[in-house]
Amino acid sequence: MLTDRLRRVKDDESGSVLVLVSLLMVAMLLITGLVIDLGGLWGYRANQQSISDAAAAAAAITVAETGNGREACQTAKAYVIANARGVETLAGIDCDTFPVICAPDTTEVVESTIEGRFTVTVSYPVADTSTFMESEVRGALSQPTSSADGDQCDRFAVAIESQLATTFSRLAGVETLDANVHTVAKSTLTSGGLVPINLLVLDRTGCQTIRSSGNGGIYIDAVFSDDVDGDPDNGLQPGLLTGVAASDSDGSDGCAGSDGVIDIDGSNAVLRADGPEGCSNQTGTHLVSGLTAGEGCGKIKTLAPGTPGCNFPACTSGGGNPPNPDPTALNARLTRAPIDHRYNCKPDYATVHPAISWATSALTVANGQDIRGCAEAAAPHIDDLIQAVGETGMPAGFQSWTAAGYPCTIEGPPSTTTLVPQGNWYVDCAAFVNKRTIVFQGGNVVFAGSVDVESSATLAINATPVTFASVDPEAWVFLRSGTFKKAGDAVLIMNNTMLYATKNAHLEMAGGSGALRWVAPDQGDFDDLALWGDSATTHLWAGQADLTLEGVFFTPLAQAEYAGTSGQNQIHAQFVAYRLHARGQGFLVVAPGLGRTVEFPLPPESMLIR
């Protein structure tokens, strides 16, 4: 009947159910698609975050090492280019706009560019009021600025923004998702403060930077400290600190399979670093200031890959003994900066002092790369010395050597003594040749040209007659040009004396039966500094029957070469040189006193704070 048919139509809801199910399936597909797209976004965003984290952290370490915002900017760009697919140059970011020197009132610089699908932004210094410090504007939880965030000059920011094209979310009209991240990193010094380093070589890229050849070698001795823990509450605690040899080279230039950054080349050649006894690999013991040192318990470090162990390019051992202990990784360059800060403190090392006309391009490059501006900017002692002495003529306050009646060649016999009255002397000779005994009885000396202490002769500076004891606690010698030579059986004594050698001057100290006694000043502007050399020509040292070197010997552009004769020559010196090569038959024992070194900060680290 008609009423039954209507009742059946009324009760039939199968069509509505089908529509409802269809709508639910579409909704579920949209939600699933959105979840899939969001999952892809999270992974994509995490990758971008890792890139910005690495770039900001590396830039912050560059800031700590150099203080140069332009170099930090270049570092950040390099990390982004290396890791972000499709980013090749970031040419739109001009690093030259960043400050070379940062101060509390330096204005924040922000540079941004679009390349490919990315917008990359870098910023330095990062002020407390910077939007990068306001985490919530980037989608993170609010994080108020605190003292733990450091100073603005310690912080570097990197932001990477892009959009991820969706796949399933397009059905809901969502075609792209934002993948914006940013990082603020601050630099911080590693806990542990300052450490003494016996030997540091500064060549940034080359091999054979620390080299031992022939039948001799280099021993890096333990360093004695009269209070190893530095705690004033428990009195003096004498002990030994680890001896350290380090190379700043990354081994990227001029290396072959047989020549590593550290190269032991010779049948009996050796490089050994010692420290407190008790390490598992010590090969013996000896005494240092009455305390027992373990042989092989020190540290040998290099920036080049191939450690731990003696592997190319970090290390090679061609027929000689492998280094003891194994070289290990240096995680950042130590640089020459601590030396410059102590003896030539100034706010900007990118340019050299106008009085230094011999400043080579190599020196300028080394300064620009390695030296962070000195915050105090109060003591440019080397620059001041250069300006006071000048390049030609007699400096103010000095006496002329020839005008006083002294010849440029002092004839002998060696037993004949010439006593030079106390005062400042300008030896205005193109070549000063000494064949007898000459004693400068106190004061500073400027040599216009080369110095030659010939066979059996004696040259004593800042010394008393006969005993050659020190006169004053501080003196300096300035070598304008030429070679400072000492014959093998000649005697050279420089008491409490710093020698400055220009680009045009270098040293040749021949080995033999004579004595070489050179002790750095123990007070004043050049306290502990024995040699500052701006020459790129090798400085030669040789085994002596009587060798005393005490203080800091700094030749940042030149190789220091030790030609051993026999036995051991122990020196209480810290060597910081471009390279060090020990050859011949003797052993050089580098054993500086803790109070007569420049201590180096441990390599900086970075911390992500936003």
3-state secondary structure 80-116: HHHHCCCCCCCCCCCHHHCCCCCCCCCCCEEEEEEEC
pLDDT at 388: 95
Q: Please report the beta strands in 170-321, taking only residues with DSSP state E, as ranges in sequence order.
A: 176-178, 181-188, 194-195, 199-201, 210-213, 217-220, 223-225, 239-241, 244-247, 262-265, 270-273, 275-276, 285-288, 291-294, 299-302, 315-318
Boundaries of every domain in the chain: 32-188, 192-379+558-601, 393-524
Q: Which amino acid is at 247?
A: S
Please state whether the peptide bond connecting residue 347 to the residue before it is cis, i.e. omega within 30 degrees of 0: no
Instruction: Report d(CA 260, CA 539) in Å as an integer.
Output: 22
Tokens of 58: 């590396």
Q: How many CA atoms lie within 13 Å of 450's alpha carbon, on the beta-carbon side?
A: 13
pLDDT at 180: 86
Nearest to 545 by CA among 489, 483, 594: 489
Query: Bridge partners of 276?
Result: 293
Instruction: Report d(CA 362, CA 557) in Å as an integer.
Output: 8
Give the SS3 label for residue 551: strand
Burial class for 548, CB neighbours closer than 10 Å (0-12, 13-18, 19+): middle
Burial class for 430, CB neighbours closer than 10 Å (0-12, 13-18, 19+): exposed
Residues in the chain: 610
Q: Please report the beta strands in 425-528, taking only residues with DSSP state E, as ranges in sequence order.
A: 425-427, 431-434, 437-440, 445-447, 450-453, 458-461, 475-479, 482-486, 491-494, 497-501, 505-509, 512-519
Nearest to 121 by CA among 150, 79, 90: 90
pLDDT at 420: 97
Give the SS3 label for residue 345: coil
Instruction: Report d(CA 212, CA 230) in Å as an integer.
Output: 35
pLDDT at 266: 77
Pairing relationship of beta strands 163-165 and 109-115 according to DSSP bridges: unpaired
- Between CA 160 and CA 165, with CA 163 as vertex, the angle to 5 degrees is 150
The answer to whether residues 524 and 473 touch, using CB atoms and an 8 Å cutoff, is yes
Nearest to 64 by CA among 247, 337, 248: 337
The answer to whether residues 370 and 333 touch, using CB atoms and an 8 Å cutoff, is yes
Instruction: Report d(CA 41, CA 22) in Å as an integer.
Output: 28
Backbone CA torsion sign across 503, 504, 510, 514: negative
**Unique residue bearing structure tokens 């009455």:** 290
- Torsion region of 56: left, alpha or beta (phi above 0 gives left; psi -120 to 50 gives alpha): alpha
Q: Which residues contact 491 (CB under 8 A, 6 or more apart)?
A: 453, 457, 458, 459, 460, 514, 515, 516
pLDDT at 381: 94
Question: What averages of pLDDT result for each successive group of 10 residues across the chain (610 residues)?
Answer: 51 58 60 55 76 91 80 93 90 93 87 91 93 62 62 91 67 66 80 78 93 89 82 78 93 85 87 88 89 92 90 85 89 86 84 70 59 73 94 95 97 91 98 97 98 96 96 97 95 98 94 92 96 94 89 94 84 94 89 89 74
Maximum pairwise Cα distance, the chain: 151
Pairing relationship of beta strands 163-165 and 497-501 according to DSSP bridges: unpaired
28: phi then psi, degrees, rounded to nearest 5: -65, -40
What is the model's pTM?
0.74
Q: Roughly what angle, to the nearest 10 degrees, separates helices 14-66 and 69-83?
A: 140
pLDDT at 136: 46
3-state secondary structure 362-406: HHHHHHHHHCCCCCCCCCCHHHHHHHHHCCCCCCCCCEECCCCCC
Instruction: Report d(CA 345, CA 339) in Å as an integer.
Output: 9
